[in-house]
Amino acid sequence: VYLNHPCSAKCGQTGVQKRTRSCLAEPLWGVHCNEATEEGRLCIGHVCSACNITCPMGHVNADCDTCMCEDATLHGKVSLEDGSPAADARVYLQAKKLKLLTMADNRGMFRIPGVCPDGKNTLKIKKAKYATATVTVPESNRKNLAIQVQLHRSGKPYVFRSPEDKARRVGQSVSFCCDARGSPAPDRYLWYHNGSLLDPSLYKYKNNLILKNLKREQSGEYFCKASSAGGSAKSQVAKLAVIGREEAACDSQPQSHLIRLPHDCFQKATNSFYYDVGKCPAKTCVGKLDKGLRCKDNVSYCCGVSKMETRDISCDGYTLPTKVIVECGCKICTETKIMVRGRATAADNGEPLRFGHIYMGNKRVSMTGYKGTFSIHVPADMERLVLTFVDRLQKFVNTTKVLPFKENGGAVFHEIKLLRKKAPVTLESTETNVISLGEIEEDDPIAELEIPPNAFYRKNGEVYSGKVKASVTFLDPRNISIAPVTQSDLNFVDEEGDVFPLRTYGMFSVDFTDEQGTESLNAEDVKVHLDAAQVKMPEHMQEMKLWSLNPETGLWEEEGDFNIEKSTRRKREERMFLVGNMEIKERRLFNLDVPESRRCYVKVRAYRSERFLQSEQIQGVVISIINMEPEPGFSSNPRAWGRFDSVVTGPNGACVPAFCDEQNPEAYGAYILASMGGEELEAVPSAPKLNPAAIGVPQPYLNKLNYRRTDHEDSNIKKTAFSINMAKPSPNSPEENNGPIYAYENLNECEEAPHSAAHFRFYRIEGDRYDFNTVPFSEDDLMSWTDDYLAWWPKPMEFRACYIKVKINGPQEVNVRSRNMGGTHPRTIGKLYGIRDVRSIRDPQQRDVSAACLEFKCSGMLFDQDRVDRTLVKVVPQGNCRRVSVNSMLHEYLVNHLPMATNNDTSEYTMLAPLDPLGHNYGIYTVTDQDPRIAKEIALGRCFDGTSDGTSRIMKSDVGVGLTFTCSERSATEQSIFQSQRNLGQQSPRDSGQQPPRYSGQQSPRDSGLQPPRYSGQQSPRDSGLQPPRYSGQQSPRDSGQQPPRYLGQQSPRDSGQQPPRYLGQQSLRDLGQQPPRDSGQQSILVLPGQSPAYRRPPASRGNDQARIPMTGQRPTY
């Protein structure tokens, strides 16, 4: 039996018709049915009808690809992002093939007759450098319709959310997420594991990658690549750790971490002043997971402290207790806040940007203050912080900066330098105008802008005729001093989505307005003539491009190429120029740049002192590098700079990107400098001769790098930077492959290099200050916080710093110590929180007077937030000192807020620290911040100034004083008080077997064999089975369900809806609209939030009329 199948061809086309047969007599199959069971032959499909399109409105057009309505007309307007018309935009009809219908005129208007308003016709609008816009003609009964379309500048995608580091056990599942935006929007995502593409058909991913039933070999690095018609972009790398089912989540053995002990605590066993307290690295670990697969785990787990022990350290005459980490484990990560602070000022004279607007993309997020200061909270998932500073008064060029920050929490301080706008010049719009780009008077300009006649037009597309005010501000790379003004970080994204650096030949900002300066103007057909003689590297001639800055991403995007032309412009001899065309519209910042592939990384670490110990590294230091292009044969005489970069140090230093060359060590040079809180750190000296051990780089590589500190030839120059040749390490030279310069592809080696590997060094001059915490904590690394009752800072997201001002009457400067112990909390009473030492600073106006701002531990809630502790603070000046007075308001406060400590010894002062944030009238200075260093530095500035709202670098010893001592000159044979102190009063009472400190008017109950009530006139509540009240003469408010009052004998101002008073006996100067008084004859040197004052004292052997603390980056001169 034969069965014929229909022809497979469509109408009017050729196909195949199949025929199959089957045998009904199965037993005779071998005799009669042994031929093929299927045959085929060519066939022609059926005759096509004239047109198979049906039109609900109108009729089919002649091409049979759409419907048309002869009586309908579509009017449209196409505009750009800034509202200006999109002249010459092309309008297409989406049919079987794109069909060009019309073009927009100079006003952005177009008219299309015959388009049916049936809701089915789709138009596509295209314009060079802009993303294609798609619009559907709306359904309507009207014959004349109008639509408006806005085009967005085309650009590569921008990844705003990258996958996060995660840890899992074998057999578990994990989810990685990646999100990007752009114009056009990304439509494709690819995922990579250790650099290899994961098969999309196998893993079925889009922007979300899910891995189930994990195996060990799936550990490694993951990233995504987002793509669109505009290009591609890659995300940050996420690390996945896969461990065994029963394997420990963290290494239980802590790493070594040395802390410095007090000056009277030398350890003979180790022959040093250091003690190893251990450290747990805060890396991601496997914790308890919920059932869902999420982009971000609900709870983040990190390796941290799981067990600590108290060790007693023998010092000179007393025992010092400290907590030592003995075991690490997987815990919930410490929650922190990320802050960026800084100050925006003019690059030429330091004028602050007052009340300027700060934008993140198109959103205004903050404002600068009167002194140019600002503070920005960085979201936890932020990868790249791009801020644009806008001057409302139009004195400065709008400045976009990419600011690095501390990813593990805390604050980083940035100095933002702004370029002042050039005074506008008047141009005639009907004439050819030429504007020079160059700031070096004795040298030729680097380039010129040529604007043809009638090139200016308004935002509505209308040609402008009249006088034009033009302000063109040029950033000349031949002027090294303005390198920090560089906009953004001079990076672009290539076609594969990788970030590449640019080497600049100049940056210019353009501002055109009408004669009144009220309306902004655009310009077209502008030519840029770049003098080829300024391009010293021949290979850069062919690669030169014109770029514009995307203020949202902080990345540079290509505007156009340059062509080589010969001309006699302005000079008789023929010269060669690189000529490019540009249009000045919504973007106003342009760059003459060359992509540079010769890249390296420089390893830099920052330290607390010249000891350069691994445990004394500082995080949060901003390392900046200026890439130099030296004159041929003169490595120390740079011709121009080409790039400016900044990186923030982490727990293992920083790897700073820079241009380098393997063939010629002097092809590129670099200046490197470091700052923290606005204070410049010192580099290791290079004169009178190099010390490789101090610099951190061995010979002979050090000679090849030609290390020179800035004061190498002139000792009067600042010591805060050094220069090197950027010689790329040779792979055939072993001594060059261990740092401090690493090839670009060896970034991981640079970031994970051990402390013993070669690196460059900066150090901070700490001055005469010393901090000791019983529970070790690094103020640079907030993740090192430990939830312990004896932690100096009880909350990791809120750091409260307290200082008391101590005045010393005497001929010498004096060391002052605060010893801080638990005072009223049952878990900490009599136990040591920590020690603070500081040296007094002489008053510049008074003889034999000095003062010290001494930190003490604030009273308040401990880490469990259950009940407060009034810290027992003992202030002990060194030498033959006698307490002569206590601030009367402070004394009255302490009397009214019992219990009160006993003060029988006039050589010291003991108090239970106040709970309230008292002000300068009490001699107490309290500041709370998300970063401990900033809280301390602001409080120090106020203490120096003696005010609650001011700041100073000059010690003012007569204002805002809390304690006053008179100290006589100590004889040479007399022992220091720190060396002569014994266990009594110095050792923790419980550690020494003694009783906790007593309070006045009360016998120690232990002396009579009873339990110690801590408040006079009242039995211990524990004897009756109750909780001990914490307030004298009244029941604990918590026991009665009330909130504890903070004032005794009076109502709390806050309880009555008032603000607590900052001043007693006088009105606040701010309430009067006045500035706080300043001492006449002294210059006020301001310390801004985040700025480190580097308070240092003048040497005791010399007089100093000024007694001034050095300015940022300066050393004291006498």
Compute the mean pLDDT over every residue in the chain, rounded to the nearest whole number: 80
**Worst-scoring range by mean pLDDT, 147-161, 687-701, 801-815, 972-986?**
972-986
pLDDT beyond 50 at 630 = yes
- Whether 1065 is in a domain gets the answer no
**Spatial CA neighbour of 64 closest among 81, 41, 48, 47:** 48
**332, 348, 376 - which closes a domain:** 332
Q: Of 418, 444, 466, at which residue does a domain stop?
A: 418
- Report the C-alpha gap between 1115 and 725 in whole angstroms: 27
Of the listed ranges 680-694, 762-776, 844-858, 884-898, the one predicted with least confidence: 762-776
411 with 430, same domain: the answer is no
Range of the domain at 166: 158-243
pLDDT value at 710 more than 60: yes
- CATH code, domain carrying 562: 2.60.220
Answer for the pair 909, 817: CB distance below 8 angstroms, yes or no. Answer: no
Indicate if 414 and 429 belong to the same structural domain: no
859 class by beta-carbon count within 10 Å (0-12 exposed, 13-18 middle, 19+ buried)? buried
65: phi > 0 → left, psi -120 to 50 → alpha, else beta; which? alpha
Asked whether residue 6 is domain-assigned, the answer is yes
Looking at the structure, tell me whether residues 396 and 516 fall in a common domain: no
H, E, C per residue of 392-415: CCCCECCEEEEECCCCCCEEEEEE
Does residue 785 sit in the same domain as residue 730? no
Specify the pLDDT at position 225: 94
Same domain, 620 and 755: yes
Task: Please state, in angstroms and as integers, the Cα–Cα distance from residue 985 to each residue in 508, 948, 1012, following that order.
Answer: 67, 33, 19
Kindly state whether residues 402 and 470 are assigned to the same domain. Answer: no
pLDDT of residue 1006: 37
Per-residue pLDDT at 216 exceeds 80: yes
pLDDT on residue 27: 59
Coil, strand or helix: which one is 695? helix
Averaged pLDDT, 432-445: 84
Tokens 């801590």 belong to which residue? 1014
Q: Is the CA virtual torsion 445, 447, 452, 453 positive or negative?
A: negative
Residue 1036 falls inside a structural domain = no
461 lies in the same domain as 528: yes
Q: Is residue 52 part of a domain?
A: no
Place of tokens 């604030």: 858
Do 805 and 721 fall into the same domain? no
**Predicted local distance difference test score (pLDDT) of residue 33:** 64
Q: Is the pLDDT of residue 1072 over 60?
A: no
Exposure string (b/e) for 616-631, b if CB count within 10 Å is 16 or more?
bbbbbbbbbbbbbbbe
Give CA–CA dist 359/393, Å, rounded.
16
Q: 926 CB contacts (<8 Å, ≥6 apart)?
A: 800, 801, 802, 803, 858, 917, 918, 939
Q: Which of 277, 311, 332 is the last residue of a domain?
A: 332
Q: What is the CATH number of the domain that holds 99?
A: 2.60.40.10
Higher per-residue pLDDT: 1052 or 176: 176
pLDDT at 298: 87
Which pLDDT band, with edges at 50, 70 and 90, does 94 fall under?
confident
| 696 and 832 within one domain | no
pLDDT, tens digit, for every residue of 735-793?
A: 888 989 999 889 999 999 999 999 999 998 766 788 999 999 888 788 888 888 999 99
**% of the chain exceeding 70 in pLDDT:** 83
Any idea what the CATH number is for the domain that residue 409 is in?
Answer: 2.60.40.2070
- Beta carbons of 164 and 296 less than 8 angstroms apart: yes
In this predicted structure, which of 156-170, 653-667, 929-943, 1061-1075 has the lowest mean pLDDT? 1061-1075
% of the chain surpassing 90 pLDDT? 35
Tell me, yes or no, whether 731 and 826 share the same domain. Answer: no
DSSP 629: E
Q: How confident is the model at residue 486 (pLDDT cuts 50, 70, 90)?
A: confident
Using alpha carbons only, what angle is made at residue 317 by residues 811 and 773, rounded to the nearest 5 degrees?
85
Indicate whether 893 and 968 sit together in one domain. yes
Could you give the CA distance from residue 248 to residue 915 in angstroms, rounded to a whole number? 43
Which position has the higher pLDDT, 791 or 407? 791
How far lies 66's CA from each of 63, 104, 115, 123, 311, in Å? 8, 22, 9, 12, 87
pLDDT recorded at residue 984: 32
In a domain, 750, yes or no: yes
How many separate domains does the chain show?
8
My answer on whether 144 and 163 are in the same domain is: no
Mean of pLDDT values over 932-942: 89
For 345, residues 6+ apart whose C-beta sits below 8 A from its C-beta are 351, 352, 353, 372, 415, 416, 417, 418
pLDDT of 1021 over the 50 cut: no
Does 585 reside within a domain?
A: yes
Burial (Cβ within 10 Å: 0-12, 13-18, ≥19) of residue 562: buried
Identify the pLDDT of residue 152: 87
| The 3-state secondary structure of 564-608, one letter per residue | EEEECCCCCCCEEEEEEEEEECCCCEEEEEEECCCEEEEEEEEEC
Which tokens belong to 773?
A: 């915490």
11 pLDDT higher than 80: no
594 — pLDDT class (breaks 50, 70, 90): confident
Q: Is residue 1020 part of a domain?
A: no
Q: Which amino acid is at 749?
A: E
pTM value is 0.72
In a domain, 407, yes or no: yes
